[in-house]
Structure 1
C-alpha cells in the first residue's frame, strides 16, 4: 500500500475512533440487575446496637445513616412500599417549601392526596438522613434528622407533655451538668423569629411547625453537644416538651440551614462556615458522612456560586443556568432558574426533598430530550409523580444518555445513571427521577445528590461537587 494512502487511511481511522469515543462518552451504563438487587434490604440491627464507638474517628466528622438503616421495620417492607412512602413524604416536603418560599400563597401539588395524615411516632414520619450526636454532660446519644432547610437544633425533652416515640430514651435535662435555660433577655433569645415565640417564667420559648403537620414546642437552652470526638459547648438547642409527628424514632433535628441559629451558624468561626456531606447511595449498605470545617472543602471540586435570597436567608440557592442530555445543552433559557428581585423562583439545594423539581416548561423540554434518546428502551406506565418510566425487567445493563446540570461560571455536573433512573418496584420498573412543578421554584433533591461529595463554603459563597464519589 502506498505510504500516502496508508497515512490517509490512518487519518480517517483516527477521526472515526475519536468520534466514536466522543459519542460513547455521552452515554453511560446502568446496571439494572445490581440496582434491583439493592432494593432488597437485609434485616439490620436495631439502633440500640449501633454503638457510639462506630462514630468517625476524624474530628468534626460523624456518620450519616439513611432512615431505612435506622428503622427496625424497613427491611420487612418491599421496595415498592418503601418507594411509595418516600414519595408521599416528598410531596409534603415540597408543598411545605413552596408554601414558605412563595410568600405563603396557597399551593396544592398534583397528587397531593397520595400522602396520608401524619401519625405520631410511626414509620410514616419525616426525615431521610440522620446522625448520632451526644447531648448533654455526660453525653446521651440521640439520632437526629439533618435538614439543610431548617435553622433550629432541637431534641425531645423530659418532662414530656406530648412526645412521639423515639428509639433512644428521651433526654432529661435534669441529668445534664451542662444544661442552662436561656433567659428572655438573652441575645440568643433575640435571634429567634418573634412570630410564635414567647416567654414563660423568665425562660425563652421556641416553636417550630413543619409542612407535614409536625411541630415542636418548648424552651430554649444552652447545652453541650458531642460530635464524634469533638465537644461543642453552649450550643443553643430547643428542648421540646410538646412534639408531634416526626422522625422515625429520631430524637429531634439538627438544622444545617444558613441562618444564625442553625448548627452551622452557631459554629461560625470555629469551622469557617463550612461543611460537607456525602449522602449514601441507596442499597449499598454503607454509611454516609457529615463533616464540618475547612477540611471538608476538597481540592479539585467543581465550585458553583451560592445565591443569597434576602427574603429567605436560611436556604441554599445555587446558580443553575441550564440542563443537558446526551452531552448536548438544551434550549432552556436561564430565566427559568433565576431568582427574582422579590425572592421568587431560583434553585434550592435541599437534603429533605427526594425528587428534583423543575418548572413545568423546563421539565418538559428536559424529559422529551431524554425520551428521544431512549427510544430503544421499552416504556412502562407512569408511577405516582413520575410520567416517564421504563420496563427494564430482564435487562442486565442498559445504555442511557448522560444527564447534566449547567451552572453559572461554566461548571457542569454530570450525574451517575443511578441518580436519575431509579427503581419504582423490585421487578424492573425504572423512572426518570425528576418531576414538574407549577411554581417557578426549582429544587435539587437528595436522589440527585446521593453518592456525590458535596461541600458548602458559606463564608465565600460556593457549593462544591466532587471530585470524588463517596
Structure 2
C-alpha cells in the first residue's frame, strides 16, 4: 500500500489484523483507521492500459528455482478500443449490474443442484510451483481479474478471466461462429502442434455433464447464471506460464460464445471441482494456490501462484467446508462480524452451512461486493452507521444503501470492519476494502449488500490487497499476515 506520508505508517500496521484474541479487547488503535479520501479520488481520475505487446515474466524474488509468479491485472488495464473514454461512474454502474447477475447466477446454481459441467484431464507440468500476475478489471463493467497465459504450441498469449467459482478452462476458438470481442486474436487450433480433440469415448468426456457428441468429438456446453455461455468441442492442450508448460490440460474450444467476457479470450476455472485448472493438476500441486488481487485504481499488479511452496508462512488458516450440492465453491466458516472493534450481535447460525447444503459463506473472485443475509446485513450496516454519524450522508447509489458525501475531505476516520472466522481468527479489512468511491467527486459507499437468499458471499473488493492461499488437499484457506 502506498501512503501519502510517513505519518500514516501506523495505518499499515493495523489494516490487516489476524488474531485469535477477541475483538472486544480495548485496543483503540484497532477500533478506527483512516481512509485517504483525496488519494482514492485522484486514482479514480487516472486510467492506464497495458501495452498490447506486454509479456508478463517471473516476478518472484525468493530465489527458489521453479517458483513462478505471473501477473494478475484488473480488467480496466486491458487494451481495448475506446476503453479509456469510459467514465468512472458509468463503469461503476456497469460493474454493479454485472455483479447482481453474478450473485443470482451463483444462487441459481445452488438451487438447481450444481454446476453445468464437471470432469478433468491428465495434466502434467515441468516445475513444481508456478504462477501468474493477476490483472484486475472494472472498465467493462465487471469485477473480474485477468491473467495472461500462453495457449497451444507455440504458445499464443491470451488474457483469461480467473474464476474461483467455475470448473472449466475454455478459450474462444476458430472457426468462430459466434464470438464476442477480445483483445487478442482468437485462438486457432490449426496452428497448434499440441492441440488434440477429445473423442466421445474418452474418460474425460465421460466426466462432463451435458456432454454431447458430434463427428466422434466430445462437445461441451457451459451456461452461466448471467446468461453468458460457451459451446464447442473439448480438447487437450498445452497451457504455458512463462517458461513453464502444463501439458494435456482439458480445455473447451469455444466456437459459439456470448456474454460478459469482453476483453478476455476465455476463462481459467480455479474452482474446487475436477474440471478446473487446479483440479486437473490434482495431487501434483495438492490443490494449492495463492493469489493477491490488485487494489483498484493502482498501477501495481497482483499475483497468482500454484503449488504448496506458494503457501505463506504465518498465515491464519480457516477450514474449508465442502458442500456436495456445490463442489466448485470454496465455503468457509464465518462466526460473526465486527465494527469498530466490537462484535455485532448476530446469531452465528445465520452464517452456517446446513446439512442440506443451504446457506453458508462462499469466497468468490467473480463477485465484487460481499453479500450477507438480510438480517445480518441490517445489523452490520446499522452498527457502521452509528459509528459514522459524524460523516455527511449521501443518497443511495446502485445496490448500496449507505453512502457518504466526502467531497473536500483529505482523509476521514472510520471504524474498522472485521470478519470473525470459526475457530478464532479475525480478519480486519483495510478501509479501502469497505468504503469505496462510486464517482469521481467524493461519493463513497459502504461496500456490502444484502443477499437475496441465505447464502453469504465474500467478494473480491473485500479480498483486494490480502494474500489468500487455498490448500485443497488439507482443506484450509489462509489469510496472509501482511498486505500485498
Q: TM over 0.5, yes or no?
A: yes
Alignment partner of 1:239 out of 239, 249, 253: 253
Report 1:346-357 matches (<5 A). Answer: 346-357=360-371
Alignment of 1:49-60 (within 5 A): 49-52=53-56, 54=57, 56=59, 59-60=67-68
Answer whether contact 1:127 1:145 (CA < 8 A) is retained: no
Q: What's the CA shift for 1:99?
A: 1.2
> Counterpart in 2 of 1:168?
184
Residue in 2 that maps onto 1:292: 306
Counterpart in the other structure of 1:34 = 39
Q: Residue 61 of structure 1 aligns to a residue in which SS?
A: coil
Tell me how far 1:184 sits from its aligned partner.
Answer: 1.1
Which of 184, 195, 203 in structure 2 is aligned with 1:187?
A: 203
Q: Secondary structure at the match of 1:49?
A: coil
Query: Aligned equivalents of 2:151 and 2:141: distance in 1?
Result: 22
Q: What's 1:120 paired with? A: none
Is the CA contact 1:184–1:199 (under 8 Å) kept in the aligned structure 2? Answer: yes
Q: Which residue of 1 aligns with 2:6?
A: none
Which of the numbers 408, 429, 432 marks the counterpart of 1:418? 432
Q: Greater relative contact order (Cα 8 A, min sep 6): structure 1 or 2?
A: 2
Q: Which residue of 1 aligns with 2:469?
A: 455
Residues 220 and 234, structure 2, Cα contact 8 Å, conserved in 1:
yes
1:271-329 CA distances to partner (integer Å, 9 max, x unpaired)?
11100100000111111111000122101111111110011111000101100001111
**Residue 155 of structure 1 corresponds to which residue in structure 2?**
171
Which residue in the other structure is 2:397 paired with?
Answer: 383
Q: Which residue of 74, 77, 85 maps to 1:69?
A: 77
Aligned to 1:23: 28
Q: 1:232 to 1:104 in 2, by over 3 A?
A: closer
Q: For 1:237 and 1:170, how far apart are their aligned partners in 2? A: 15
Question: Aligned to 2:336, what secondary structure does the other structure show?
Answer: strand
User: Are the counterparts in 2 of residues 258 and 264 from structure 1 also a CA contact under 8 Å?
Assistant: yes
C-alpha distance in structure 1 between counterparts of 2:157 and 2:332, whole Å:
34
Q: Which of 429, 432, 435 pairs up with 2:449? A: 435
CA distance in 2, matches of 1:438, 1:165: 32
Residues 239-273 of structure 1 show CA distances to partners (whole Å, capped at 9, x for unaligned) of: 11111123222110000000001000001122111
CA change 1:204–1:78 in 2 (3 A) is: same
Q: 2:92 — aligned with what?
A: 83
Equivalent residue of 2:157, what SS? strand
Residue equivalent to 1:261: 275
Correspondence 1:312 to 2:320: no
Larger Rg: 1
C-alpha separation in 1, matches of 2:437 and 2:355: 39
What pairs up with 1:108-257 in 2 under 5 angstroms? Answer: 124=140, 128-193=144-209, 195=210, 197-257=211-271
Structure 2, unmatched stretches of 5+, are 1-23, 61-65, 115-138
CA distance in 2 between partners of 1:97 and 1:20 (Å)? 37
Q: Tell me, what secondary structure is at the counterpart of 2:441? A: coil
Cα drift, residue 356 of structure 1 = 0.3
User: For the aligned residues, what is the CA RMSD?
Assistant: 1.9
- Verify the 8 A CA contact 1:305 1:318 in the aligned structure 2: yes
Would the alpha carbon gap of residues 25 and 249 (structure 1) be closer, same or farther in structure 2, given more than 3 Å must change? closer
C-alpha contact 1:127 1:248 (8 A) present in aligned 2: no
Q: Which residue of 1 aligns with 2:101?
A: 92
SS in 2 for 1:188: helix
Contact 1:323 1:329 in 2 (8 A): yes
Between the aligned partners of 1:371 and 1:260, the Cα distance in structure 2 is 44
Moved more, 72-81 or 270-279: 72-81
Paired residue secondary structure (2:70)? strand
Structure 1 residue 166: Cα displacement: 1.3
Q: Does 1:338 align with 2:352?
A: yes
Q: Structure 1: 5+ residue runs without aligned partners?
A: 1-18, 106-122
Q: State the secondary structure of the residue aligned to 2:27.
A: helix
